[in-house]
């Protein structure tokens, strides 16, 4: 918890912008300046903003794939086990292992597991639900769900320095700069 | 960039997806004010009262059903399916348009979908809820409904996976689950907007809890978008599979008129057909009474009408080929089935279906009609009735006279059949009216993305 030593009461500094373009430019500038521990906040997804803060890859697709494979295998395995091992029933002389008939539930289980693991995985990776987060201390931040764009450089960044970072942020011409307490 | 300009020129004669002069503020306010600021009007109360009244009818019908059993319905041998399965297929079909709009149109980058996907998905959920009730009630002992699922039990028995009816359990329950999570995931950023916009402390707490503490972080958005597109990707085959599996309930049986390979595509097209009709039936009054003409524009209504026209023609092709194959096959039973449909005791339903489902909707070829909301509303109602009749004709005419004339019969719905059907319409209506006043009926963050201001300039 190195940031506690650096600035025990500060989570970071937050700059407010009016347009997505300004946010992306600011994030790029901050990245070029050497800041890494930061996040951009916006009322809708901006692909360029996450690129600018250096966040490129997400593991969500992998989780969906794993969930799908697990769902498909368990769906097929369940049917095989039930119809061949646990409860073999002769239905019109059809083989116990009637694989074409097993395709539909296998497919549905693949989709079900892929979808649910994706949803739970996405929320888990995002650390949601998270009722408390320091950024909500900034009053102006409520506009992030409306029409404002924010860049928060976190105090945990090794390059973070209250005065220096504030000066850097002023150079970005934001609407406002706020200190984000813990 | 030349491509974009050319496309814009081509679109000039089409109405815009979004009215002019909108800002991030204005779209946020327009959508959230419906829930947070607008006083409760008499019209809304009246609509909710009708829905709740019919819901009361449903409760009565279901209570009496539990008391007396399915004998209160018109079903008997040979017509054992009757209204329960007609309504099941009808409702689940209606749900399909919601998934088509939210998933398939997203994959095809049809941005016009952004203003209608939210309530279309809600429509899907409520329609699937109505649909799901019918097979349960039809079982006679609905409290044993969980027997359909494979679970270890002291009886030592397991479901029989060679039956399409078991496939249906998997298809419909997966569809309901995935539709629900897709809808909820889409709502989370908007619930955060509602949390910040609400002034009532209870509303703030409620939306705050439901929004899971969403804060619009770029990292979150990236994962969110990745998941959203994947959910769309898996929902697309899912929605096509659901009505395909529903059609297997028929096609795998050997009953004349059911045992045909054209059923899956023709059922899916019919589902989308009736689903878009329901989208229009909901969208036309909603945009008018809540002043959303700038977000649900004529473009949406016209595109929906075009999809209806296209899927209606596929359905017409299905009817044609059903008839052709029956005659061409030389099978006595198949030929009798068509003869019986055309001239038998239920012929009036068949011809009504042709008029309502195939003939009347052809007026949608006219751009003037597609631009007239009253006409669109009327045709949508016609299609909804027509698609209901289609399921009635498929189920009842095939079952009531199959191979053995000695076991022919006749099916007449009782008042309890009608009460249950009307009751689910009440459940659907009440749910839609409540939804409009509790949740943002249009996806706010996706509308923001349509604004020119949302573009990042170099």
Instruction: Give the pLDDT score at B9.
Output: 44
Give the mutation candidate from A20, A43, A124 for the B interface (greatest B CB count, under 10 A).
A43
**Predicted local distance difference test score (pLDDT) of residue A8:** 60
In A, which residues are within 8 Å of B160 by CB distance?
83, 89, 91
Residue of A nearest to B193 (CA): A145
User: What pLDDT is attached to residue B183?
Assistant: 93
Q: Which of A72, A98, A126 to mutate to test the interface with B (most CBs of B within 10 A)?
A: A126
pLDDT at res. B6: 45
Q: Residue B250: which of B307, B351, B318 has the closest Cα?
A: B318
Mean pLDDT of A136-148: 88
Query: How many C-beta atoms lie closer than 10 Å to residue B138's C-beta?
Result: 21
Please give the angle made by the CA atoms of B140, B175 and A87, to the nearest 5 degrees: 60
Looking up tokens 């974009």 gives B4
For B281-301, the pLDDT digits (tens) are: 999 998 888 888 888 888 889
If you average pLDDT over residues B248-262, what whole number do you get?
Answer: 91
Chain B stretch 426-445, residues whose beta carbon is closer than 8 A to a beta carbon of chain A = 445
State residue B1's pLDDT score: 39
Query: Which of B171, B196, B445 shows the shortest C-beta gap to A104?
Result: B171
Opening angle at CA A72, ends A69 and A74, nearest 5 = 105
Chain A within 8 Å of B114 (Cβ-Cβ)? Answer: no
pLDDT, averaged across chain B:
90
Q: Please, which residues 336-395 of chain B have a Cβ atom closer than 8 Å to chain A?
A: none
**CB-based contacts of B13: which residues, under 8 Å, 6+ apart?**
none
Neighbours of B151 (CB within 10 A): 9
Residue B404 to chain A, least CA–CA distance (Å): 21
Secondary structure element (H or E) that encloses residue B195, with its range: helix B164-197
Instruction: Please report which confidence band the pLDDT of residue B34 belongs to, taking 50, 70 and 90 as the band edges.
Output: confident
Query: Nearest chain A Cα to B232, which residue?
Result: A115
The residues, ordered by sequence, that sit 6+ positions from B149 with a Cβ below 8 Å of its Cβ are: B159, B169
Determine the distance in angstroms separating the CA of B8 from the nearest CA of chain A, rounded to an integer: 23
Q: Which residue among B170, B189, B226 sits closest to A60, beta carbon to beta carbon?
A: B226
Helix B218-251 vs helix A99-125: crossing angle, to nearest 10 = 160
Q: Is the pLDDT of residue B42 over 80?
A: yes
Q: Per-residue pLDDT tens for B378-398?
A: 999 999 999 999 999 999 999
Give the pLDDT mean for B149-172.
91
Q: Do B449 and A119 touch (CB under 8 A)?
A: no
Q: Is the pLDDT of residue B8 over 50?
A: no
pLDDT of residue B3: 44
Helices and strands in chain A, H and E counts: 6, 4
pLDDT band at B368 (very low <50, low <70, confident <90, very high): very high
**How many Å lie between the alpha carbon of B150 and the closest alpha carbon of chain A?**
9
Compute the nearest-CA separation of A57 from chain B (Å).
9
pLDDT tens across B183-197, in order?
Answer: 999 999 999 999 988
Q: How far apart are CA B96 and CA B113, in angstroms?
A: 15
| Interchain proximity A146–B237, CB inside 8 Å | no
Are A105 and B170 an interchain contact pair (Cβ–Cβ within 8 Å)? yes
Nearest chain B residue (CA) to A134: B215
Q: Does B155 touch chain A (CB under 8 A)?
A: no
pLDDT of B182 over the 70 cut: yes
Which of A58, A102, A130 is nearest residue B226 as measured by Cβ atoms? A58
Banded pLDDT at A116 (limits 50, 70, 90): very high
Q: How far is B351 from chain A (nearest CA, A)?
A: 35
Place of tokens 């003939």: B359
Query: How high is the pLDDT of residue B20?
Result: 79
Interface contact B238-A111, CB threshold 8 A = yes
Judged by CB atoms closer than 8 Å, whether chains meet at B231 and A94 is answered as no
pLDDT value at position B450?
Answer: 86
Contact A45 B231 (CB under 8 A): no
What CATH code would you report for B22-150+159-453? 1.20.1630.10
Residues 6+ apart with CB under 8 A from A16: A140, A143, A148, A149, A150, A174, A175, A176, A177, A178
pLDDT in tens, B76-127: 989 999 999 999 999 999 999 888 888 888 888 888 888 888 889 999 999 9
The residue-averaged pLDDT of B130-151 equals 91
CB contact under 8 A, A42 and B221: yes
Residue B238 has pLDDT above 50, yes or no: yes
**In the predicted model, is pLDDT for residue B10 greater than 80?**
no
B chain contacts of residue A39, beta-carbon cutoff 8 Å: 217-219
Number of C-beta neighbours around residue A56 at 10 A: 8
Which residues from chain B sit within 8 angstroms of residue A147, using beta carbons? 23-25, 28
**Cα angle for residues A89, A91, A96 (degrees, 5° grid):** 55
Closest partner residue to B218 among A46, A64, A135, by Cβ?
A: A46
The yes-or-no verdict on residue A120 having pLDDT over 60 is: yes
Does any CB of chain A come closer than 8 Å to the CB of residue B162? yes
In the predicted structure, residue B366 carries a pLDDT above the cut 50: yes
Residue in chain A nearest B208 by alpha carbon: A131
Whole-structure pTM value: 0.91
> Is B153 part of the contact surface with chain A (CB cutoff 8 Å)?
no
pLDDT at B57 over 60: yes
Q: Where are the domains of chain B?
A: 22-150+159-453
H or E element that contains A11: strand A10-17
Assembly ipTM: 0.91
Q: Is A166's pLDDT higher than 60? A: yes
Here the tokens at position B99 are 């998934």
Calculated CA dihedral for residues B304, B281, B425, B313, nearest 10 degrees = -40
- What integer pLDDT is reported at residue B185 of this predicted model? 93
Joined tokens for residue B132 = 């799901």
Give the closest-approach CA distance of B181 to chain A in angstroms. 7
Chain A nearest-CA distance from B189, in A, is 8
């Amino acid at each position: 918890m190195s940031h506690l030593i650096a600035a025990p009461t500060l989570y970071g500094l937050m700059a407010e912008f009016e347009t997505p373009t300004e946010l992306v430019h600011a994030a790029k500038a901050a990245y070029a300046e050497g800041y890494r521990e930061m996040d951009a906040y916006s009322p809708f997804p901006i692909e360029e903003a996450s690129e600018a803060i250096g966040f490129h890859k997400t593991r969500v697709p992998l989780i969906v794939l794993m969930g799908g494979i697990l769902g498909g295998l368990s769906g097929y395995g369940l049917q095989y086990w039930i119809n061949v091992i646990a409860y073999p029933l002769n239905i019109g002389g059809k083989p116990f292992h009637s694989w074409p008939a097993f395709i539909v539930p296998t497919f549905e289980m693949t989709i079900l597991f892929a979808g649910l693991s994706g949803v739970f995985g996405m929320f888990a990776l995002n650390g949601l639900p998270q009722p408390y987060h320091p950024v909500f201390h900034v009053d102006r931040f409520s506009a992030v769900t409306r029409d404002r764009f924010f860049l928060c450089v976190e105090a945990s960044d090794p390059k973070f320095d209250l005065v220096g970072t504030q000066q850097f942020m002023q150079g970005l011409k934001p609407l406002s700069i706020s200190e984000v307490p813990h | 960039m030349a491509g974009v300009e050319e496309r814009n020129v081509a679109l000039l004669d089409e109405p815009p997806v979004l009215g002019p002069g909108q800002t991030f503020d204005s779209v946020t306010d327009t959508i959230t004010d419906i829930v947070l600021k607008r006083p409760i009007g008499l019209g809304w109360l009246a609509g909710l009262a009708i829905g709740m009244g019919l819901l009361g009818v449903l409760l009565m019908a279901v209570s009496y059903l539990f008391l007396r059993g399915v004998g209160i319905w018109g079903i008997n041998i040979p017509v054992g399916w009757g209204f329960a399965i007609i309504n099941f297929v009808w409702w689940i079909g209606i749900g399909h348009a919601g998934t088509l709009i939210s998933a398939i149109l997203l994959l095809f980058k049809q941005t016009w979908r952004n203003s209608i996907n939210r309530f279309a998905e809600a429509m899907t959920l409520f329609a699937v809820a109505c649909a799901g009730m019918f097979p349960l009630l039809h079982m006679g002992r609905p409290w044993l409904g969980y027997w359909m699922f494979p679970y270890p039990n002291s009886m030592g028995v397991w479901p029989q996976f060679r039956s399409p009816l078991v496939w249906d359990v998997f298809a419909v329950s997966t569809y309901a689950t995935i539709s629900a999570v897709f809808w909820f995931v889409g709502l989370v950023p908007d619930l955060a907007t509602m949390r910040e916009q609400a002034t009532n402390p209870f509303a703030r707490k409620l939306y705050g809890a439901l929004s899971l503490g969403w804060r619009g972080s770029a990292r979150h958005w990236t994962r969110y978008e990745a998941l959203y597109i994947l959910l769309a990707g898996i929902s697309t085959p899912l929605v096509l599979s659901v009505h395909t599996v529903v059609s297997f309930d028929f096609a795998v049986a050997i009953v004349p008129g059911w045992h045909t390979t054209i059923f899956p595509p023709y059922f899916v097209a019919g589902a989308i057909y009736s689903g878009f009709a329901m989208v229009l039936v909901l969208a036309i009054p909603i945009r008018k009474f809540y002043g959303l003409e700038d977000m649900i524009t004529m473009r949406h209504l016209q595109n929906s009408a075009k999809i209806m026209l296209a899927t209606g023609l596929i359905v017409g092709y299905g009817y044609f080929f059903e008839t052709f194959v029956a005659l061409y096959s030389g099978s006595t039973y198949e030929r009798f089935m068509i003869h019986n449909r055309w001239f038998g005791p239920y012929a009036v339903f068949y011809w009504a279906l042709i008029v309502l489902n195939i003939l009347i909707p052809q007026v949608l070829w006219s751009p003037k009609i597609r631009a007239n909301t009253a006409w669109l509303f009327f045709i949508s109602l016609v299609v909804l009735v027509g698609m209901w009749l289609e399921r009635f004709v498929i189920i009842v005419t095939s079952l009531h006279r199959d191979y053995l004339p000695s076991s022919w019969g006749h099916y007449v719905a009782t008042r309890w059949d009608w009460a249950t059907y009307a009751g689910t319409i009440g459940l659907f209506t009440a749910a839609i009216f409540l939804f409009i006043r509790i949740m943002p009926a249009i996806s706010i963050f996706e509308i923001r993305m349509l604004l020119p201001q949302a573009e990042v300039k170099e």
